Amino acid sequence: MFADVVVLSLTQIISWGAMFMAISVLGAPVGETLGLTPALVYLGPSVMLVAMAVMSPLMAPLYRSHGARFVMSAGTVVTVPGFLLLAWCDGPFGYYAGWTILGMAGAGALTNSAHVYLAVKAGARAKQAIGAQMLAMALAPTISWPLTSFLSGWLGWRHTYLVFALVMLVVVLPLLRFGLKPDTAPAATDSKTHANRAGDRGRVRTIIVLMTLAIALNGFVTWGFQLVVIDIMRSYDVAEGIAVGMASAIGIAQMSARLIDFLGGNRWDGFVTSLAAGMLMPVALLMLGLGHGAEWSVVAFILLYGLSSGAMSVGRATLPLVFFEREVYASVLSRLGLPLNLAFAAAPPIFSRVLSDYGNASALALAVACSLGTLACLVLLARFRDPSRAV
């Protein structure tokens, strides 16, 4: 299992770095060349997330018929025309078309497929295997941003995207095809079939709705704050250097939360991880708002927010394993993909608009309301949880 985690960690770091994170470095030269404002440049990743959302439910039958390794490999191949379009585009149409193809590819190539593979192969240790892979993913920006900056400075942004296409074909694809063993497709058809067999479709539907709302509301906050957290601290008159430095420290707290969860092994399940994250988030946001940017409030916010978002990133992947058998994990994850990716795509522009038009208090109030919604959904989920169930 260790080798599988290593291969998936490497391929996911490369894939997320090239497909999503690189635009943080390439955005300025891309906008200058194509005549796009920063807002229009960063609309590209949102287009990608929407395309991923639309394609996500279609992955479940592919997992069943071919396995997650095949789906990841196929998605990796589909990234190539997306990168080529980005490299050769000369205006908005080609630019957004490239991001659309990357989103279609990402539905197969990115996180969900890796987690489905581990859920099938790791068996009872699925939570620990997924946690280990997500712990490694904390290194993605640390690796991808400097490498992208080097390539862009050396080759320019267009040739950087050509390099990404090549890397996906000659590095990622062989690692997936030869570094991973074929995975057995899940036996169950889907979560609906599972519900029929259990004679409790209403219970399963309620669990999925509550789980979707909990994760989507939390993701709306965390994906939205990725864009505006520095601006919010600036709005409280936090010095520029301190605001940037403190925001950068969020990653350390996130990685610490993932490490704690990983070291915990199977001592607790994905529900406990998610509940802890759900309790910390509103406290973190209230600390920042009530402290009005005072040093103590910024430090408390960064620590608690980082721990919460880091823990929830693991909980998001492992929560379905608490309520569903591993055989239907792929189906549940595919169903969650549509609403979750739409929420993630909508968050940055909405939070940016609220902050610019209505101020920091309104942005924080929106975040607090969403985080309390997450906590309420998790509390309601608790009554459906079987504490004796092994993850």
pLDDT tens digits, one per residue of 72-97: 999 999 999 999 999 999 999 999 99
Q: Which fold has domain 2-179?
A: Growth Hormone; Chain: A; (1.20.1250)
Rounded Cα gap, residues 234 and 293, in angstroms: 9
- Assign domain 191-384 to a CATH class: mainly alpha
Cβ neighbours of residue 349 closer than 8 Å, sequence gap 6 or more: 39, 43, 46
Segments in 56-179 forming alpha helices (H): 59-66, 68-88, 92-109, 111-122, 126-137, 140-155, 157-167, 173-179
Rounded Cα gap, residues 57 and 336, in angstroms: 8
Where exactly does CATH 1.20.1250.20 map onto the chain? 2-179, 191-384
- Global pTM reads 0.81
Do the beta carbons of residue 163 and residue 22 sit within 8 Å? no
Q: Which residues of 249-285 are buried (b: 16+ CB within 10 A; e: fewer)?
A: ebbebbbbbbebbbeeeeeebbbbbbbbbbbbbbebb
| Residue (of 20, 187, 182) closest to 110 by Cα position | 20
Window from 174-188, 284-298, 359-373 with minimum mean pLDDT: 174-188
What SS3 state is found at 199? coil
Rounded Cα gap, residues 133 and 1, in angstroms: 11
| Residue (of 146, 147, 27, 11) closest to 76 by Cα position | 11
Which position has the token pair 């509103």?
282
Give per-residue pLDDT as tens, 147-206.
988 999 999 999 999 999 999 999 999 999 999 988 865 554 444 444 444 447 778 888
Rounded Cα gap, residues 50 and 35, in angstroms: 23
Rounded Cα gap, residues 185 and 249, in angstroms: 40
| pLDDT for position 13 | 93
Window from 51-65, 247-261, 275-289 with minimum mean pLDDT: 247-261
Give per-residue pLDDT as tens, 220-271.
998 877 767 777 777 777 776 777 677 667 777 777 877 777 777 667 788 8
Rounded Cα gap, residues 164 and 283, in angstroms: 40
Do the beta carbons of residue 69 and residue 182 sit within 8 Å? yes
Structure-block tokens of residue 77: 């191949």
Do the beta carbons of residue 46 and residue 101 sit within 8 Å? no
CA angle 21, 25, 30 (to 5 degrees): 105
| Residue (of 117, 121, 115) closest to 134 by Cα position | 115
First to last CA, the chain: 16
Which position has the token pair 């509301």?
217
Do the beta carbons of residue 151 and residue 139 sit within 8 Å? no
Cβ neighbours of residue 346 closer than 8 Å, sequence gap 6 or more: 46, 220
Q: What is the DSSP letter of 42?
A: T
Looking at residue 131, its amino acid is: G
